[in-house]
């Protein structure tokens, strides 16, 4: 059971971070809020999202699973203006999510969750941790996009660097430690990632947000950030491309 209302901006933010990886997702509902774990179809990246009931204007939830077509939800939310409240109600008998925005009521059929598993989140200890603004991350990505379809993330005790190397050109964007919010490293680490995945993840992060980034040598990168005014949290994991 779910009966809740939330600001449209918060729901749009959820849709943005989830649609980066999947078109359909299983949301787990309980008395404390909503959560989800999903892996993209290519099994290159995963998302783990938690949204506490404090993110909602009103919230009643009992343990259930909602299979949601993310693209459909995105289209519905286009009807909402900034500051609008959106009400959500699960009609269990018809297996629908009833969404109300102002004078509009949309009854959206839910997706069967039988084939949707909860992927296990790997417990990876990564040696390097840093915090930086989302804008810095996106600036480095923008610098790389015309050069290559991969991006290398490099860090040591003194700096964090994003670099790309193409057939004829290369680009480096280096942030010294003093330009980062924080940096903890024990030596140099480097991993290479597909730029399309990495840029889509970074662009889903709201401007002004603080991003926690964990790196290792040829290990997945972990990106974490808060949403919904600190009442929600997102963790992305992206597998590296192992260089020969």
Looking at the fold, whether 14 and 49 belong to one and the same domain comes out as yes
Residue 90 lies in a domain: yes
Q: How far apart are the first and last CA of the chain?
A: 51
Looking at the fold, whether 49 and 132 belong to one and the same domain comes out as no
Looking at the fold, whether 98 and 154 belong to one and the same domain comes out as no
Looking at the fold, whether 23 and 99 belong to one and the same domain comes out as yes
CA–CA dist 133, 206 (Å, integer): 10
CA–CA dist 228, 4 (Å, integer): 15
CA–CA dist 162, 151 (Å, integer): 7
> Which of 109, 138, 153 finishes a domain?
109
**Please, how many CA atoms are within 13 Å of residue 181, restricted to the half-sphere of its CB?**
15
- pLDDT 10s per residue in the chain (244 long)? 999 999 999 999 999 999 999 999 999 999 999 999 999 999 999 999 999 999 999 999 999 999 999 999 999 999 999 899 999 999 999 999 999 999 999 999 999 998 887 888 888 889 999 999 999 999 999 999 989 999 999 999 999 999 999 989 999 999 999 999 999 999 999 999 999 999 999 999 988 999 999 999 999 999 999 999 999 999 999 999 876 5
pTM metric for this prediction: 0.94
- CATH number of the domain to which 203 belongs: 3.70.10.10
Looking at the fold, whether 132 and 100 belong to one and the same domain comes out as no
pLDDT number for residue 243 = 65
User: Hey, what are 135's tokens?
Assistant: 């804008």
Looking at the fold, whether 89 and 177 belong to one and the same domain comes out as no
Looking at the fold, whether 92 and 143 belong to one and the same domain comes out as no
- CATH number of the domain to which 59 belongs: 3.10.150.10
Looking at the fold, whether 95 and 144 belong to one and the same domain comes out as no
> Which of 57, 80, 109 finishes a domain?
109
pLDDT number for residue 12 = 96
Residue 118 lies in a domain: no
- Domain total for the chain? 2
Place of tokens 């430690």: 177
Residue 47 lies in a domain: yes
User: What are all long-range contacts of 74-83, with beta carbons under 8 Å and residues at least 24 apart?
Assistant: 74/12, 74/15, 74/19, 76/101, 76/106, 76/108, 77/8, 77/11, 77/12, 77/15, 77/101, 79/104, 80/8, 80/11, 80/12, 81/8, 82/8, 82/9, 83/7, 83/8, 83/9
**In sequence order, what are the residues at sequence separation of 6 or more whose Cβ sits closer than 8 angstroms to the Cβ of residue 167?**
none
Say if CB 129 and CB 118 are below 8 A apart.
no
Give the containing element (helix H, strand E) for 201. helix 195-203
Residue 119 lies in a domain: no
CA–CA dist 84, 81 (Å, integer): 6
Looking at the fold, whether 133 and 232 belong to one and the same domain comes out as yes
> Domain range holding 10?
2-109
> Which of 109, 137, 154 finishes a domain?
109
């Amino acid at each position: 059971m779910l009966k809740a209302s939330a600001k449209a901006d918060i729901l749009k933010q959820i849709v943005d971070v989830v649609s980066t990886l999947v078109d359909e997702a299983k949301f787990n509902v309980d008395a404390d809020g909503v959560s989800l774990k999903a892996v993209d179809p290519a099994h290159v990246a995963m998302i783990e999202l938690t949204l506490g009931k404090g993110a909602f204007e009103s919230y009643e939830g009992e343990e259930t699973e909602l299979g949601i077509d993310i693209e459909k939800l995105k289209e519905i939310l286009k009807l909402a203006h900034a500051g609008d409240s959106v009400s959500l109600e699960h009609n269990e008998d018809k297996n629908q999510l009833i969404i109300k925005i102002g004078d509009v009521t949309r009854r959206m059929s839910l997706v069967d969750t039988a084939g949707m598993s909860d992927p296990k989140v790997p417990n990876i200890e990564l040696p390097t941790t840093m915090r930086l603004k989302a804008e810095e991350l996106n600036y480095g990505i923008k610098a790389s996009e015309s050069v290559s379809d991969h991006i290398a993330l490099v860090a040591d005790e003194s700096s964090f660097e994003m670099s790309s190397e193409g057939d004829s050109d290369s680009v480096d964007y280096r942030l010294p430690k003093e330009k980062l919010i924080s940096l903890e490293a024990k030596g140099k680490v480097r991993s290479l990632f597909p730029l399309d995945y990495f840029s889509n993840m970074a662009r889903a992060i709201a401007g002004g947000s603080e991003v926690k980034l964990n790196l290792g040598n040829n290990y997945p990168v972990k990106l974490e950030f808060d949403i919904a005014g600190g009442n929600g949290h997102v963790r992305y994991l992206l597998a590296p491309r192992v260089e020969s």
